[in-house]
Amino acid sequence: MACAFLEHPSSLEHDTGAYSAGASSILHPEHSRRITVIERELSAQGWLGFDRVRTPAVDRSVLRAVHPEPYITSIERACRSGGTFLDDDTVVGERSFEAALHAVGGAVRMVDLLLDGDASAAFSSHRPPGHHALPSHAMGFCLFNNIAVAARYALDARRLERVMIIDWDVHHGNSTNHIFHTSRQVLFVSIHQSPLFPFTGHASDVGQGEGAGFTVNLPVPAGAGDQVWVSLVEHVVVPLAYAFEPQLVLISAGYDAHRDDPLADCAVTTEGFAAMTRAIARACAHLAAPIGAVLEGGYALGALGRSVAATLQALSTEPAPAAASPAVAVTPIAHQARTRLAEFWLQLPAGPRPARSHRSRTGPRA
């Protein structure tokens, strides 16, 4: 079974324009060349064995499960009228609505391909990104929350009971955090630089009500690099996956934690993204949980192309057997997170054993 790379040309037509900066103008950082460099890099590497899939626009009724119709209509009107600034840095042009519908459509189609067994792993490569877009409020370059709609679809239409979303974009996925805040069907785990836009995602935000413990925020300081990020994945994210036993794992794959990125101050390398992907893919293989990634941010063009390729390479490689103990040391940040999480996850397992946490199940397993 091949892996799938989901794409649509409308991603190139979402025109975010340029800022004026004195006498000159600077391209908006979230511009169409982000998609071009990814495709150029993958093309140079023979698409790494991925089948290219042209995505449909999302069905409006599927989109409405997260975004109310009046909001969808307001975005449609803003685009049809020629485009405008929705806030200081979120811009739409005439073709942005189509691009946004296909960006969500890519994530939703990816879920179908994975759950139907038509793809062994997948990457949905579209713009605009999604994880900041609240149900009725565009923000942070995002119009609709692509990954949240896909997760909602997996629960509602595909009848899954446990979906895990891992968000490694350098910015906190505030919208995904918000949408599933009271749900125990979605385990949302975010690693992000803090403080940084959107200034949410504190470690103390663990979800609410029934969902307490199913939101896991792992803020890291500026300067954090591979050691910190990969350690958090190996020693916190992967053990959480073994405890939660998701039926589907979705990655909010932003690449702005890269050391070259102009919008943040972390120091992850291309190999760091590969290592995080390998660790998650290995857990997914043990759990028989399909894995798919959805493009979020990433604004250093060369680093973005190479890091997406590294992710695809890791997704398409047969995972190595789980080591008795991961090669990456437990950093103090990972240790503190494990201690914090003990309130909800009694014992984070080191390997692929069923967890005994009282909060690890949401009902009978499918």
Binding site for Zn ion (CB under 5 A): 169, 171, 254, 256, 297
Task: Say if residues 54 and 7 touch (Cβ distance below 8 Å).
Answer: yes
Cβ of 342: how many Cβ atoms within 10 Å? 11
CB of 139 to Zn ion, least distance (A): 12
SS3 label, residue 294 = strand
Spatial separation of the C-alpha atoms in residues 139 and 136, rounded to whole Å:
10
Find residue 7's DSSP bridge partners: 54
- Our CB check for Zn ion shows the closer of 244 and 255 to be 255
Burial 96-132 (b: 16+ CB within 10 A, else e): bbbbbbbbbbbbbbbbbbbbeeebbbbbbbbbbbbbb
- Our CB check for Zn ion shows the closer of 258 and 338 to be 258
Q: Which of 31, 67, 126, 132 is catalytic?
A: 132
Token duo for residue 355: 């967890």
Is residue 181 part of the annotated active site? The answer reads no
- Our CB check for Zn ion shows the closer of 246 and 297 to be 297
Spatial separation of the C-alpha atoms in residues 32 and 288, rounded to whole Å:
35
Task: Say if residues 47 and 3 touch (Cβ distance below 8 Å).
Answer: no
Cβ of 262: how many Cβ atoms within 10 Å? 10
- Our CB check for Zn ion shows the closer of 219 and 297 to be 297
- Our CB check for Zn ion shows the closer of 187 and 196 to be 196
Burial class (CB in 10 A: 0-12, 13-18, 19+), 335: middle
DSSP 16-44: --EEEETTEEEE-SS-THHHHHHHHHHHH
- Our CB check for Zn ion shows the closer of 144 and 244 to be 144
CB of 192 to Zn ion, least distance (A): 8
CB of 171 to Zn ion, least distance (A): 4
Q: Residue of minimal CB distance from Zn ion?
A: 297
CB of 226 to Zn ion, least distance (A): 18
Distance between alpha carbon 250 and the CA centroid of its chain, in Å? 7
CB of 172 to Zn ion, least distance (A): 9
Token duo for residue 151: 């997760």
- Our CB check for Zn ion shows the closer of 9 and 302 to be 302
CB of 292 to Zn ion, least distance (A): 19
CB of 169 to Zn ion, least distance (A): 4
Spatial separation of the C-alpha atoms in residues 250 and 353, rounded to whole Å:
21
153-159 contacts at long range (C-beta below 8 A, 24 or more positions apart):
153/62, 153/65, 153/108, 153/111, 154/111, 154/115, 154/248, 155/185, 155/186, 156/65, 157/62, 158/111, 158/112, 158/115, 159/366
Token duo for residue 339: 């201690």
Active-site residues, by number, are: 132
